[in-house]
Amino acid sequence: AAREAGVQVRLLQKVERVDCGPKPVVHLANGAQCGGDLVIGADGLHSQARRALNEASQPFFTGQVAWRAIVPNHSKLPAEAQVFMGPGRHLVAYPLRDGSLLNLVAAQERRAWADEGWHLPDDPENMRRAFAGFGGEAHQLLSQVQDCALWGLFRHPVAPHWHRGAVALLGDAAHPTLPFMAQGGNLALEDAWVLGAALQAQPGDIPAALASYQTHRRDRAARVVEAASRNAWKYHLRAPLSWPAHQILKLGGRFAPQKMVAQFDWIYRHDVTQQG
């Protein structure tokens, strides 16, 4: 008879520390401990699991901040990402919720440091002021913003070690990325698929499965993170480079749109479910 798997979900638990080893232990803020055959640290940017596996690393401010806002899709922008570029800044808009809303991410270069959290509220006027030179659609979109959050963009090194004993890192805990390729969430999903496949392939040997998982994922994640970091400067070109670069982009978009997009096939057409 099939044995029913029991799953216990404990909400609102704060993890204070993770002890690695063949029988890992997770220490909770309320004093309780839990563990299991395998602990997966999918605990994001400020991961406790990453600390357990790696030396502390120092993130650095990239000199860029981003505002995030949601506005109604009055202009019925299609289900594609729109990028509006200007010197030292760019605005990305893409539809949410069946196209009824638009997500706006507006990045600006600046010297002053800003907090790394996603939820620091800011005055929409600051966002509009930063993009005052933008006209047309971009101006329309920004004029609708009623609430926005400002977040400082930091670079973090990809974690050198993703596993030890029966503890593994996954997602932002292992490789937080700048948003310029829209890949953070996607990388986490890809990790999960590859980790699951590795554990299925070597069910009796968790350390070997985790080693195979890191081998399959680390270089790719590092390459995507690097590509996202490089992409910002292309969007933020200033005169005299901006005019010829934008003409090339316009012409490429008009006459060879497939070729323009194909340069990122290694990211957007990658299918982890088809990997051996």
Ligand X SMILES: Cc1cc2nc3c(=O)[nH]c(=O)nc-3n(C[C@H](O)[C@H](O)[C@H](O)COP(=O)(O)OP(=O)(O)OC[C@H]3O[C@@H](n4cnc5c(N)ncnc54)[C@H](O)[C@@H]3O)c2cc1C
Residues interacting with ligand X, by CB under 6 A?
Answer: 13-15, 42-44, 46, 48, 68, 105, 118, 171-173, 179, 182-186, 188
173: closest CA among 214, 132, 145, 123? 214
42: closest CA among 172, 161, 222? 172
Strands of 97-198 (E only): list them: 101-109, 120-122, 148-155, 163-164, 167-169
Give the shortest CB-82-to-ligand X separation in angstroms.
13
Instruction: Give the nearer residue to ligand X in terms of CB position, either 16 or 125.
Output: 16
Give the shortest CB-248-to-ligand X separation in angstroms.
26
Instruction: Give the nearer residue to ligand X in terms of CB position, either 10 or 111.
Output: 10
Instruction: Give the nearer residue to ligand X in terms of CB position, either 85 or 159.
Output: 159
Instruction: Give the nearer residue to ligand X in terms of CB position, either 109 or 172.
Output: 172
- Rounded to whole angstroms, the Cα distance separating 171 from 187 reads 6
Which long-range CB contacts under 8 A does 20-29 form with residues at least 24 apart?
Answer: 20/52, 20/53, 20/164, 20/165, 20/166, 20/167, 21/164, 21/165, 21/166, 21/167, 22/165, 22/166, 22/207, 23/165, 23/166, 24/165, 24/166, 24/167
Give the shortest CB-6-to-ligand X separation in angstroms.
21
User: At 260, is the secondary structure helix, strand, or coil?
Assistant: helix
Instruction: Give the nearer residue to ligand X in terms of CB position, either 1 or 12.
Output: 12
Give the shortest CB-28-to-ligand X separation in angstroms.
8
Query: Angle at which helices 206-235 and 184-201 pack, to 10 degrees?
Result: 160
Give the shortest CB-202-to-ligand X separation in angstroms.
23
User: At 241, is the secondary structure helix, strand, or coil?
Assistant: coil
Beta bridge partners of 34: 26
Place of tokens 């926005």: 148
Give the shortest CB-43-to-ligand X separation in angstroms.
4
**CA quadruple 19, 20, 26, 28: dihedral positive or negative?**
positive
Give the shortest CB-39-to-ligand X separation in angstroms.
12
Residues 6 or more apart in contact with residue 136 via CB below 8 angstroms: none
Instruction: Give the nearer residue to ligand X in terms of CB position, either 147 or 205.
Output: 147
Instruction: Give the nearer residue to ligand X in terms of CB position, either 92 or 198.
Output: 92
